[in-house]
Amino acid sequence: MKNGSIITIQNLVKSFPIGGGEFTALNGINLTFAKGEFSGIVGPSGSGKTTLLNILGSLDSPSKGETNVLGTASGQMNPKVAASLRKKHIGFIFQTYNLMSVYTVYENVEFPLLLLKKPAAERRAAVLEALEWVGLTDKIKSKPPMLSGGESQRVAIARAMVKKPDLVLADEPTANLDAENSHHILQTMEELNKELETTFVFATHDEKVIGYLRRIIRLEDGKVVSDENIKTRNS
């Protein structure tokens, strides 16, 4: 892994069997992500954004090439190691929020800490802090069906951030939100990125998200077509 980088990808190829043949979703990807980046993988549907994000999140493995995420190489990545990596170091934010409907907001946010077997007092403090970041301390006892889309996604952000992970992977986090809520969510994530130095990697084709990114990696047909650093926000 290069100095200061938390993710390196070398000659990554990912293909899926389709019918009798094979579909190549990612082809020859070489990328490096540094700690504290607020970057996005941008491209049209089917360009391979989500596949790349899944590989970074150790939910999928490369067909060829090498990845190294937070010091764990893809070659060492058995299901147990991958689960441990996700549990300790990676937070996920999904387009559809994926909150557990039978749990309260508090319990949803607490869940990653339960998996980490944190003591109750520590859990409580962390959950309240995370809910404060997203401005939902008044919704502690609510259940997800009682929340708006924006509130639900804020809970999902709190859940991803509560364990203070090194890396947050967000797959189309604003796809189901209106413009106002989208900006609110993105501002929250930007603040957390600055405050906690958490690395954020987005997969998106939403212009609102793109406006917040400090690094934009464009994918087309499974290949990186551009990788630019943005000095100042243009929104």
Partner 1 sequence: MIAFKLAYKNLMGAGLRTLLIVFVLSLAYVLIVYMNGLYQGWDRQARIETIAWEVADGQYWQEHYDPYDPMTLVDAHTTVPAQLEALAAEGKAAPVLITQATIYPEGRMMGVLLRGIDTRQKLLSLPTQKLDPDSEEITAMVGTRLAKSAGLQEGDDLLIRWRDVNGTFDATELKITGIFYSTVPAVDQGQVWIPLKTLQEITGMPGEATMVVMGSAPENGSTLAGWEFKGHDFLFKELEEMIQMKSVGGSIFYTIILALALLAVFDTQVLSIFRRQREIGTYIAMGMTRKQVVGIFTVEGGMHAILAVILGALYGFPLLLWTQKSGIKMPEGTDDFGMAAAEHMYPYYSLILVIGSIILVTLATTIVSYLPSRKISKMNPNDAIRGKIQ
Which one, of 168, 149, 147, lies nearest residue 158 by Cα? 168
Q: Phi first, then psi: give them for residue 71, nearest 5 degrees.
A: 85, 0
Q: Cα Rg for the chain, rounded, in angstroms?
A: 18
Please identify which residue in the block is written with the tokens 């493995």: 61
- Rounded least distance, CB 66 to partner 1, Å: 20
CB 156 within 8 A of CB 91: no
Is residue 100 part of the contact set for partner 1 (CB under 8 A)? Answer: yes
Residue from 2, 30, 66, 87 in contact with partner 1 (CB under 8 A): 87
> In this complex, which beta carbon is closest to partner 1, that of residue 73 or of residue 114?
114
CB atoms closer than 10 angstroms to residue 81: 13
Residue from 5, 8, 94, 210 in contact with partner 1 (CB under 8 A): 94
Helix (H) or strand (E) holding 64: strand 64-69
- Rounded least distance, CB 79 to partner 1, Å: 6
Is residue 57 part of the contact set for partner 1 (CB under 8 A)? Answer: yes
- Rounded least distance, CB 71 to partner 1, Å: 16
Is residue 173 part of the contact set for partner 1 (CB under 8 A)? Answer: no
Is residue 59 part of the contact set for partner 1 (CB under 8 A)? Answer: yes
Coil, helix or strand for 61? coil
Per CB under 8 A, residues contacting partner 1 are: 50, 54, 57, 59-60, 79-80, 83-88, 90, 92, 94, 96, 98, 100-103, 107, 111-112, 114-115
